Structure 1
Amino acid sequence: MKKPFWIALTVLMLSGLFLAACGGGSSKPTIVRKDPPAEYAGKTNPYTGDQAAIDEGKALYTQNCESCHGTAGLGDGPAGAALDPHPGNLQQASKDASEAYLFWVVNEGGAAAGRSASMASYKGILTEDEIWKILAYVKTLK
């Protein structure tokens, strides 16, 4: 009768050790930064520096992005507060990532790029021109 008790206790202790070994890491998700697929690679924003397009991009950003990414693009929008992980900091992303990568993520959604599926695909919702205008505006955020 004692043998099953010790086996169960050993299994329980080993399970506890395993769980303890898995804990303690960062609660922040690992960001997977991949190169965009061939059909997106090398794309550049035709609206960079075009003030009229940037103004249109601001209006589109306000309608489609601000609720999650926030007014300044810091990922602190009211709808984004409920998401886990929180939305990305677009000010930083526009410095760190290529235009092609950012276009790919907005067009195909976060899951396509190994990021959060909370970032929806805007393919079919926004035109390519509208996405580029939003990205031209995001580049101006400070």
Structure 2
Amino acid sequence: MNKASFLAVSAGVIIAASTVHLWTKWPLFGVTALTFSCMALTAAAIAVRPGKRIGIQARRLVDRYADSTSSAAQVEAQIILDKANAITFREDDLRARALWVSRGFAALSIASVALTVAFTAEVLRS
């Protein structure tokens, strides 16, 4: 979450820098910086979106096992399986969010290079 937040702030800075000036020398690089910054910001937003809270819920356990005729060993085995499934879901969600953060950083890198090229062209050709 911290990396995604950093990505969002960085993308915002690049967006602000991309739009503060009308790029006259190489405007395509200015537009590229803005486009990829927006892509990075979108990736950050996807990475920090609220997720489903899948896990072991006390009420569900009570409803499922309070009047169960299963043995303690069977109940314990089912609870362990439920825990394993919840952990697997969380790990999959974390991997998906990390992928979006990685994509965002790649887009931010391209945006930074494009903005640097556009800024350099403006400064050196002025």
Same fold at TM > 0.5: no
Give the TM interval when normalised to the shorter protein. Answer: under 0.3
Bigger Cα Rg: 2
Q: Relative contact order (alpha carbons < 8 A, sep ≥ 6): 1 or 2 greater?
A: 2
Q: TM-score, normalised by structure 2?
A: 0.26
Q: TM-score, normalised by structure 1?
A: 0.23
